[in-house]
Structure 1
Amino acid sequence: MIQHSDYKEATIQGRYVTMDKLQQHCFTKLKSETIIIGFSVLGVPIPAFTLGHGKQKVLMWSQMHGNESTTTKAVWDMVNFLNSPNEMAKTILESCTLMIVPMLNPDGAKAYTRVNHNEVDLNRDAKNLSQPESVALRTLFQKFKPDFCFNLHDQRTLFSAGKTNKPATVSFLSPASNMERDITPSREVAMKLIAAMNQTLQKMIPGQVGRFDDGFNDNCVGDSFQMEKVPTLLFEAGHFQKDYEREKTREFLFYSLLEALQTIAADKISNYSIDDYFAIPENDKLFFDIIVENPQVTNPIIMDTDRVGIRYKEVLYGDKIHFEPEVAEVGALEGFYAHQTIEGADLLDFDNDPAKQAIRAILSSINE
């Protein structure tokens, strides 16, 4: 049994992962030669490297959105595994050639923003190719000619796995390649690979895997690569209970990556069906980080019957991400769930708890 803890890259943890950290701690240990595929808006080199020598070519990239770092951590855990003497690692490297871009948007990563330095969302620039990072990825895609693409992201804590009280800890999507959302051969292959990963994850986090909406947008990179008839998979790292640093979620992404690569290497994609893919519940937006029951504040905006839904805003201070509570919605909030529930009476006794003090303060100040 493979244990993630045996391969976890301990030098990168938490939510704030930058190119400087990767260069200092991770690239120095690589056995593979790195190439520079381009430069960011601020002139930061964007490195990539290959592992393996097999005929099945897999292109994967992470941190296209700079503040989405969980999959970057999982990728380095995967690299550690593939560089080990494990028999599965050897099989994958004999059957596959991986081209890995661990951080496509280094400027956004340093600023901890979704967009690049020009405030452009790189995942909405596949058509225009207006940004140097977008051009770098597209050029690499054309040169490498992958058989599979893994598009690695994070998703917000608000997502539920369907209309349930379970968070979407990991989500997937086989993007559409046209407005009709036809199930093309490449899209079908991606669906079956996702079904393989879901089967593994259900043993670890039952009911906590979601499927993203497949509305077509040719400005999105996944859709555009699917249009090129290359099976493309969107990975989304989400929330696991009490895991705001996403150290547990990275473990599930690690196992997902290994399952996908093993399925490709063993030529077992046909063992799965698109029905297994569509059985994964579509994501919904039913979670707040906190719901305050019976808020008990002197504020005419908040009624006695109301609940207050709070979501965290992620703010960078120094080299640490802080989670600052913000009121997202006030009302009955029927059908919604929370990662944490607080009784309003508990807020009356601060207990020197900064989080409770902050929540009390924002409840009291709503529309004052």
Structure 2
Amino acid sequence: MQHEEIFSTYTNKEIKGRHITNESIEPILNKLNDDFKVKIEGKSVLEKPIYSVQFGHGKTKIYMWSQMHGDEATCTKAIIDFFELVSNHKEYSNFIQSKYTLYIVPLANPDGAEVHTRENINKVDLNRDVQESTQPESKILKQIFENFQPHYCLNMHDQRTIYGVGDTDKSAIISFLAPAYNVERDINEYRSKAMYIIGKINNVLQTYIPGHVGRYNDAYCDNCFGDYFASKNAVTILFEAGHHPNDYMRDITRKYIFISLLVAFDKIHENVLVDDNNSEYFKIPDNKVSFFDILYKNVKIIENGNEKIINFASQYKEVVKDGKILFEPYLVTIENDGQKYFGHIEYDLKEELFSSNYCSVPVNDVKSDFLIGKNKEFIDGILKQ
């Protein structure tokens, strides 16, 4: 079967959307067969269990963790889809079990997941807490690494809708990084292996989402888990799930994370390195902050008695209400810095005049309700028909 067919066959239908919590994954973990070892590694600040899942008995040890940022759930869904695959595809399950020992934390920040925030309930970014490990969630993630001593680490995140691929008008649907292990960002044997695998994943993804794969910034951060583990000679790969057009729930992006996992397991198994193994990695364009959720171009404003033509934007803030994620748009001003910006939705407003009950010109963090000209009414950032 091809990758997309495998995904459509083994997608777990019980889990979807952006708001993924322990309550979302517990029924699924409870139904896993005896090939899986499900364990409570410890508790969060609010005493919620942090689960691990161990699978396989092969010699290559892989440590994976997702949702250390509570509002970054796309990779968690892809992990659950992977569980569905190895639960029901005997041949592939045998391959994974014979080659790998997997140690997976599918949801590392259950308190943050519950309230849909990046930080844990103490407002600490767990991915800036590896050195001191001041939080129980950080302690658990670090302790697993020290006890398990993995050969490979897969560090799984979401990135915001603001990222594009290089100078193109394509959103970064998936981005990767072989994190640096020192400030100089040198390339050693372990980082080189990560680059090789990412290059191979990208080659496959280009057949599905051409031009939509980016390379994340590799500035070294000694308090980030991925960089720290890389400094301990684990081959570390950062996965960043981004925005597919019209997929704010990221149930399309999860497919490409799932496919990336399958390719990674295939390439780690091959373990073939060639002299120019970094070249394909460096062909991947850098991530660039170049997108807004909604972009309004060529708008007339009157400021201090003077007419100007400007561009401005709306950006969504994600809020949990009644257990669901709502996307609430707020105005964003755009600096005239010479950079070209794009919108996931764009309007050319042909130099018609901006007006609003909230402000005379666009200002940051104001509701995206306004009028353009005499009859173009925008409610929640969208042109009312």
What TM-score do the two structures reach when normalised by structure 1?
Answer: 0.91
Moved more, 78-87 or 2-11: 78-87
Letter in 2 for 1:337: F
- Partners of 1:343 and 1:185 lie apart in 2 by 50
2:340 aligned with 1:335: yes
2:98 aligned with 1:94: yes
What residue number does 1:20 align with?
Answer: 23
Structure 1 302/60 Cα, relative in aligned 2: closer, same or farther at 3 Å? farther
Matches within 5 A, 1:314-329: 314-329=318-333
Question: Does structure 1 retain, via aligned residues, the 8 Å contact 2:166–2:286?
Answer: yes
2:45 aligned with 1:41: yes
What residue number does 2:153 align with?
Answer: 149
Identical residues among aligned pairs (%): 40
- Partners of 2:8 and 2:118 lie apart in 1 by 29
How far has the Cα of 1:273 moved from its partner? 1.1
Question: Does structure 2 retain, via aligned residues, the 8 Å contact 1:291–1:309?
Answer: yes
RMSD (Å), alpha carbons: 2.2
Deviations 1:39-96 (A, max 9, x none): 1011111110111111111000000000000000011111111222253443222101
Structure 1 300/244 Cα, relative in aligned 2: closer, same or farther at 3 Å? farther
Question: Does structure 2 retain, via aligned residues, the 8 Å contact 1:37–1:137?
Answer: no
2:324 aligned with 1:293: no
- Partners of 1:306 and 1:33 lie apart in 2 by 57
SS in 2 for 1:143: helix
Matches within 5 A, 1:154-303: 154-268=158-272, 270=274, 273-295=277-299
Question: Does structure 2 retain, via aligned residues, the 8 Å contact 1:91–1:265?
Answer: no
2:80 aligned with 1:58: no
How far has the Cα of 1:293 moved from its partner? 2.3
Question: Does structure 1 retain, via aligned residues, the 8 Å contact 2:241–2:253?
Answer: yes
Letter in 1 for 2:32: L
Letter in 1 for 2:143: T
How far has the Cα of 1:307 moved from its partner? 1.1
How many aligned positions are there?
A: 356
How far has the Cα of 1:170 moved from its partner? 0.3
SS in 2 for 1:33: strand
- Partners of 1:272 and 1:135 lie apart in 2 by 38
Deviations 1:171-229 (A, max 9, x none): 00111111111101111111111111111101111111111111111100001000110
What residue number does 1:359 align with?
Answer: 381
Matches within 5 A, 1:133-144: 133-144=137-148
How far has the Cα of 1:247 moved from its partner? 0.7
Question: Does structure 2 retain, via aligned residues, the 8 Å contact 1:70–1:250?
Answer: yes
What TM-score do the two structures reach when normalised by structure 2?
Answer: 0.87
Letter in 1 for 2:22: M
- Partners of 1:272 and 1:47 lie apart in 2 by 39
Question: Does structure 1 retain, via aligned residues, the 8 Å contact 2:294–2:381?
Answer: no
Alignment partner for residue 136 of structure 2, among 88, 109, 132?
Answer: 132
Structure 1 gaps, min length 5:
362-368
- Partners of 2:24 and 2:275 lie apart in 1 by 40
How far has the Cα of 1:21 moved from its partner? 1.3
SS in 1 for 2:165: coil
Moved more, 67-76 or 81-90: 81-90
* Higher helix proportion: 1
- Partners of 1:324 and 1:118 lie apart in 2 by 25
Question: Does structure 2 retain, via aligned residues, the 8 Å contact 1:92–1:262?
Answer: no
What residue number does 1:366 align with?
Answer: none
How far has the Cα of 1:330 moved from its partner? 3.6
Deviations 1:264-322 (A, max 9, x none): 12334559711111111111101111111244577769954111122111111111111
Structure 1 294/268 Cα, relative in aligned 2: closer, same or farther at 3 Å? same
2:14 aligned with 1:8: no
Structure 1 85/359 Cα, relative in aligned 2: closer, same or farther at 3 Å? closer
Letter in 2 for 1:305: I
Letter in 2 for 1:11: E
Question: Does structure 2 retain, via aligned residues, the 8 Å contact 1:63–1:72?
Answer: yes
Moved more, 143-152 or 271-280: 271-280
Letter in 1 for 2:23: D
How far has the Cα of 1:33 moved from its partner? 2.5
Letter in 1 for 2:12: E
SS in 2 for 1:71: helix
Question: Does structure 1 retain, via aligned residues, the 8 Å contact 2:301–2:307?
Answer: no
Question: Does structure 2 retain, via aligned residues, the 8 Å contact 1:65–1:115?
Answer: yes
* Higher strand proportion: 2
Higher normalized contact order (CA 8 Å, seq sep 6+, divided by chain length): 1
Deviations 1:299-348 (A, max 9, x none): 76995411112211111111111111112224557511111112447966
